[in-house]
Amino acid sequence: MITPVEVKICGLTSEADAGLLAKYGADYGGIVMFYPKSKRNTEADIAGMIVDKLKKSDIKSVAVVVSPDMEQIDIIEKTGFDYVQIHGELKEEVYNRTGIPIIRAINIKDDDVSSVKESVEWCRRKDKITGLLLDAGVPGSGKIFDWNNVKDLQLSGKKIILAGGLTSDNVEEAIKTVKPDVVDVSSGVEYDDPLTKGKDENKVKTFIRNVRKR
């Protein structure tokens, strides 16, 4: 029996976005925090409302942060998140302070596969890291990387989460190539007009349908 691939929709900015995940059956919802450079950055009070909405549908909430400090970790945990997804630097004291499971993001640069293997080995030894998110060299760029560089990764006991440029058109091929536990999408389910904020319902529906049709 084939294990179902889970779906993570990232970059939620409203309760309406969370409602789409509940409607079409996503497994995780990601919320960007403490990163003003991102158009998806969300303040803690709004994030709390989104988290509450997700919990009502048993969808796991993920705080998405870059090089967090201990104060930010405390806020994330008080807000009620189930996971924290860490990009950038993960300091030892932050790792030790964190009381919820960590998803560690690794940016895949096609010309530097060796450093990826080193990062994977480090994560393998860390008990609090329960998932490894494989993203493009520039996170949030909506670009894919060479999936063949990671298709043979073995992470016993930790989930492999594939991100970076996924859309409803390429997600089936991505799953066949990498065989991830989770697929992660953000810009691929947003409106074509970059000025329109939030998730496009039809794109969310189609993306999840294409993952589930296996």
Which two structure tokens, joined as six digits, stand for 24?
């079409």
**74 catalytic residue (yes or no):** no
Ramachandran sector of residue 86 (left: φ over 0; alpha: ψ -120 to 50; beta: rest) = beta
Instruction: Give me the phi and psi of 24, to 5 degrees please.
Output: -110, 0
Q: Which of 17, 27, 123, 135 is catalytic?
A: 135
Q: Given CA atoms 181, 184, 188, 189 in this order, what sign does their dihedral have?
A: positive
Instruction: Give me the phi and psi of 63, to 5 degrees please.
Output: -85, 125
**135 catalytic residue (yes or no):** yes
User: Which residue, 48, 60, 62, 43, is CA-closest to 15?
Assistant: 48
Q: Which residues are catalytic?
A: 10, 135
